[in-house]
A and B are shown apart, each in its own frame.
Chain A
Amino acid sequence: MIFTDIITFLGRFHPLVVHLPIGFLLMAAVFNVLSYFPNYRFLKDAMSFTLLAGFLSALAACILGYLLSQSGEYDPEVLSQHRLSGILLAILGGILWSMTTGFYSRFMMISRKIVTALCILLVILTAYTGHQGGTLTHGSDYLSLETLTYQVREKPAKAEDALIFEDVILPMLERRCQGCHQKGKRKGRLIVGSYAQLMKGGKHGPVLEPGKPEESELYRRITLDPGHEDFMPTDGKTPLTKLETEMIRWWIENADASEGRKLLDVKGYEKMTPLVASLLKLPGARPLPEIGTTTMRAVNAAIPPKTDMAAVNILRQKGLTVRVMLHDPVMLDVTMPAKSGVAMRDIEKELSIVAGNVIWLNVSDNNLTEKDLEILKQMNNLEKLRLEKNPVGDNIVDLLEPLQYLESVNLNETLLTNSGMSRLRSHSSLRRVYSWKTSVTETK
């Protein structure tokens, strides 16, 4: 374990050390050129040492680079080119150095022109190797001519102001498709980089049919069964989500698959704003449940997305069981164990911090009265409440009435009477009241 770490550790010196051979070797080439001028003729003698330093540092860079390559986090194709050219560069540096030592001059004449030619080759090789290395570290688009013309689009402040294609669709496609459909690869002769390229299409022609999503090759491919041969993205790469394909469908159908159009300008845009806001991750946007999964029950939008986990942990320390029912938004199921002896006033502070996130609450069998339960008023997103086996009576209804999401309340073995029950009947959201072993004679 430690051994592997040393390998990584040393390997990470490669980007540092690699600048030494670049410097030394280029310097040697510069010396070579300058030595043609009479004023700088003396530099010719410095070449030997500079080349030796370049050769040795290139060797070191090769070794460290090899160690670094073991981490396996690099594009193997570029890596192998970089490795090959790096090794060649070190060898060339070594050859050039040996030419300057007079080692060869014993059996052959080394013309100055050959040294100069090799120096030019050296410079080219250095530039190539360096660029490959930069590509490995920063990515192929870091230093390219497109950087000159590239324009960053500012994220719109409001979903309504977003340009449908430029702000929403294109980034989505780039993220999921550009791995293969880019200049370098052009799978299916399609490039997904701009509107014009999409309209030009691939080997089967344009991939978009304005107004007709079902006939658009792009939409058809991304909505097939993932097992289908034509499904995109292929090879098990992350597919677009249902929300994303839905967005694309709407764009083709309602916005004629056009570019440069604001969401606001398309008829019926209102129902798309939450989706666009969510896709753009605009502040305040709520991640939406997947469309088409009817199994997903709509989650009450009023629940705060986050909660104070520190308060939750204090509640746990104080003896309550707090179960996270959902992470986004945070839904809590809070249980005070039966006969826990926990005093309500000791936990009131923390409960009120998380009140909006409490969806299920069970405080049964804890000898609580209405006075202890004032906190319920703050739990405005409560859906299920268990109060059984507590000495609460009809006045509890006052606390329950403001809870507009309350679905069921368990008042078994309490002091509830018919009058409390009849008031609960008119509760707006309450559907089930349990009143077993009370004096209540009618049920709900």
Chain B
Amino acid sequence: MSFMPHSHDEEFRLNTPDAEAFNRKLDRRRFLLKTSLGLGALATGSLLGMKGLSGDKSPSLLPTDVNSTEEAMLAAIPHIAPRAKRVVYLFMAGGPSQFETFDYKPALLNLAGQDLPDSIRKGQRLTGMSASQATLPVVPSIYKFQQYGQSRTWVSELLPHTARVIDDLCLIKSLHSEAINHDPAITFFQTGNQLAGRPSIGSWISYGLGSDNQNLPTFIVLVSKNAQLDQPLYARLWGNGFLPTRHQGVQFRSGKDPVLFLNNPDGYDGTDRKEMLDYLSKLNQLQNDLYGDPEIENRIAQYEMAFRMQTSVPNVVDMSNEPQEVFDMYGPGSRDPGTYAANCLLARKLLEKDVKFVQLYHQGWDQHAGLPKNIARQCRDTDQATAALVKDLKRRGLLEDTLVVWGGEFGRTVYSQGKLTATDYGRDHHPRCFSMWMAGAGVKPGFSYGETDDFSYNIVKDPVHVHDFQATLMHLMGIDHERLIYKFQGRRFRLTDVHGKVVSAVLA
């Protein structure tokens, strides 16, 4: 047999032994394509075509209609006229104490040191960390409260800057969760389920609403580098779960280079990068045609996004145009990339570019012991920048259509965990009530919602469940949380599962 170079007119033929299987597949495919022009296939084709004309999208009776239902569901969004176009979610990981921040409980001063009454605890099961304590001594906040703003809202002295923007905030003091430990609680807050594996809020939003800026990811995550890393964070908190991968949150690193490898390597000027990516995209497209794995499409999308990010990211993280006044406003640390303050400033810049969902995480709020000292540090690290973000968004007119959310995964107990002294105490996890605030698009400014009892142990008025909060957030973005559904492995999933009611009282 004489060696004869096998010539093909096709663009893609990889003449290596490794690619044999691939080539064979291609050949078979081509054969089928060609023979499908035969008479029999022509007849079948026309029949299928006829069905197409009659409005039936799928030519088959097999359950391949999944995509079209999905498309129909997405096409119905927005269900409600949206009031927010973007969200910035400041997640205070660890569970900030409501006692030292927003839930003012003056009655506790008279009860300091007394055992938590059973009439309040009602036999609630405590965590293993404080369940074995002989006494559960009630401890009031060591920090003072004062009323601020026209709304005369009580705010702790630890949050002087937040206090100054209190008339822009919608404070909810009656959040409650189901989980008492960090990981399930934070997973519950971010994905609507205590177990890992569901898409996070940002991913749902990205999936449901798409992007307003093709050059930046729709969902960007910033984690403070200057926080005390007491409880870990996992990438799955901003993961896409079962949604297509391009909807997962893209974490920007806390350093000078927020996204690695965006710069061209030495000796390469990047002029033919576009050509290279086009070729790669064609190869991936071929792969997609052969195997139909939707993840291939995601990969193509991600390559193209990365290419666009080569110019958009250096542009957006460049702080050289920001005047000194801005850095002064966000406070110390705002010039140091990766700190909470710098992340707040970066968040504003991302929101200006219409990034839809920016999520910040600041760890270190888990104060089982030494709470007075530690919470003061946490507040010092975050208070000024948080308030500055609200103020900055407001003066730029962005608070019109940006929703700001501040909060942790649960609250803390009224009783001291560990030894209670005159100057020191700790607080254990408490999911039954805690405080959060929202500000901006669509929520009532200078408004407080929900009440807890004198011990901030139980909710006495207007409880807001985590799912209610999620439903409300979706509602503000124009999505009916009951109608954004994704079918996966035979089950239909929602961010709010089968729960959640929009808290209409907080809507402006």
In this assembly, does A266 line the interface, its C-beta being within 8 Å of a C-beta of chain B?
no
A295 at the interface (CB under 8 A from B): yes
**0/1 interface trace, chain B 58-69, chain A, CB 8 Å (1 if under):** 011110100000
Say if the beta carbon of A410 comes within 8 Å of chain B.
Answer: yes
Q: Are B400 and A5 in contact (CB-based, < 8 A)?
A: no
User: Roughly how many angstroms separate A129 CA and B45 CA in the complex, as a whole number?
Assistant: 34
Q: Tell yes or no: B412 within 8 A of A by CB.
A: no
A386 on the B face (CB < 8 A) = yes
A325 touches B82 (CB 8 A): yes
The answer to whether the Cβ of A323 comes within 8 Å of any Cβ in the partner chain is yes
Of the residues A1, A2, A324, A326, contact of B80 by C-beta under 8 Å: A326
The answer to whether B286 has its CB under 8 Å from any CB of chain A is no
Contact with A along B470-492 (1 / 0, CB 8 A): 00000100100000000000000
* Interface contact B397-A295, CB-CB below 8 Å: no
| Interface membership of B85, Cβ < 8 A | yes
Q: Are B47 and A434 in contact (CB under 8 A)?
A: no
**Interface assignment of A405: CB less than 8 Å from any CB of chain B:** no
CB contacts (< 8 Å) of B44 on chain A: these are: 2, 5-6
User: Is A153 in contact with chain B by the CB < 8 A criterion?
Assistant: no
Given known A-B contacts A5-B44, A326-B81, A295 and B475 have beta carbons under 8 A apart: yes
A135 at the binding interface (Cβ < 8 Å): no
With both chains docked as a complex, state the minimum distance between the C-beta of A311 and any C-beta of chain B, in angstroms.
19
Contacting residues of chain B (375-402) with chain A, CB-CB under 8 angstroms: 395-397, 400-401
What is the interface residue range for chain A against chain B?
A: 20 to 34
Q: With the chains together, A293 CA to B507 CA distance in Å?
A: 12
User: B397–A412 contact, CB under 8 A?
Assistant: yes
Distance A408 CA – B401 CA, assembled complex (angstroms): 11
The interface size bin for chain B is 20 to 34
Q: Is the CB of B504 within 8 A of A295?
A: yes
**In chain A, what residue has the closest Cβ to B475?**
A295
Q: Which of A42-50, A200-208, A327-335, A422-430 contacts B (4 or more CB under 8 A)?
A: A327-335
Contact A297 B81 (CB under 8 A): yes
| Cβ 8 A contact of A295, one of B48, B82, B396, B507 | B507
Check if B354 is an interface residue, CB within 8 A of chain A.
yes
Whether the pair A388, B397 counts as a contact (CB closer than 8 A) is yes
Q: Is the CB of A4 within 8 A of B212?
A: no
Contacts of A294 in B (CB 8 A): 504
CB of B245, distance to nearest CB on chain A (Å): 24
Residue of B nearest to A289 (CB): B80
* Residue-wise interface mask of A (1-37) relative to B, using a CB-CB cutoff of 8 A (1 in contact, 0 not): 1101110110000000000000000000000000000
Determine if B81 and A331 form an interchain contact, defined as CB atoms under 8 angstroms apart. yes
Q: Which A residues lie within 8 Å of B475 (CB)?
A: 295
A5→B48 contact, CB < 8 A: yes
Q: Give Cα distance in the complex from A388 to B400, angstroms.
A: 14
Chain A CB within 8 A of B280 CB: no
A331 to B78, CA, bound (A): 10
Inside 8 A of A384's CB, which chain B residues have their CB?
400-401
- The answer to whether A386 touches B504, judged by C-beta atoms less than 8 angstroms apart, is no
Shortest beta-carbon distance, B41 to chain A, in Å?
Answer: 9
On whether the beta carbons of B502 and A295 are closer than 8 Å, the reply is yes
A325 touches B81 (CB 8 A): yes
- Closest CB-CB distance, A273 to chain B, in whole Å? 25
In the complex, whether A101 has a CB less than 8 A from a CB of chain B is: no
A5 touches B78 (CB 8 A): no
Residue from A1, A8, A331, A335 in contact with B354 in the complex, judged by beta carbons closer than 8 Å? A335
Question: Does B33 reach chain A (CB closer than 8 Å)?
Answer: no
Which residue in chain A gives the minimum CB-CB distance to B212?
A321
Does B120 touch A at the CB level, under 8 Å?
A: no
Please tell me which one of the listed residues B62, B395, B397 contacts residue A386 in the complex, with CB atoms under 8 A apart.
B397
Q: Is A250 an interface residue (CB 8 A)?
A: no
Given A299-B81, A432-B400, CB of A4 within 8 Å of CB of B504: no
User: Digit string of B29-47 for contact with A (CB within 8 Å is 1, else 0)?
Assistant: 0000000000000001001
Q: Which of A4, A323, A327, A333 has the most CB of B within 10 A?
A: A323
Question: What residue in chain A is nearest B209 (Cβ atoms)?
Answer: A323
Query: Is B131 on the interface with A (CB-CB < 8 A)?
Result: no
State how many angstroms separate the Cβ of B406 from the closest Cβ of chain A: 22
Q: Does A360 contact B (CB under 8 A)?
A: yes
Q: Is B195 an interface residue (CB 8 A)?
A: no
Contacts of B109 in A (CB 8 A): none
* Interface check B76, CB cutoff 8 A: yes
Contacts of B83 in A (CB 8 A): 297
List residues of chain B with CB under 8 Å of any chain A CB. Answer: 44, 47-48, 59-62, 64, 76, 78, 80-83, 85, 212, 354, 395-397, 400-401, 475, 478, 502, 504, 507
- A321-B354, A335-B354 given. 12 additional CB < 8 A pairs? A1-B59, A2-B44, A5-B59, A9-B47, A71-B61, A297-B81, A325-B82, A325-B478, A333-B85, A384-B400, A384-B401, A386-B397
Using a CB–CB cutoff of 8 Å, the interface residues on chain A facing chain B are 1-2, 4-6, 8-9, 71, 293-297, 299, 321, 323-327, 331, 333, 335, 359-360, 384, 386, 388, 408, 410, 412, 432, 434, 436
What are 22 of the A-B contact pairs (CB < 8 Å)?
A: A1-B60, A2-B44, A4-B61, A5-B48, A6-B44, A8-B61, A293-B504, A295-B504, A325-B478, A326-B78, A326-B81, A331-B81, A333-B85, A384-B400, A384-B401, A388-B397, A408-B400, A410-B396, A412-B397, A434-B395, A434-B396, A436-B396
Which 5 A-B pairs have CB atoms at the shortest separation, nearest pair first?
Answer: A410-B397, A434-B397, A295-B504, A326-B81, A1-B60
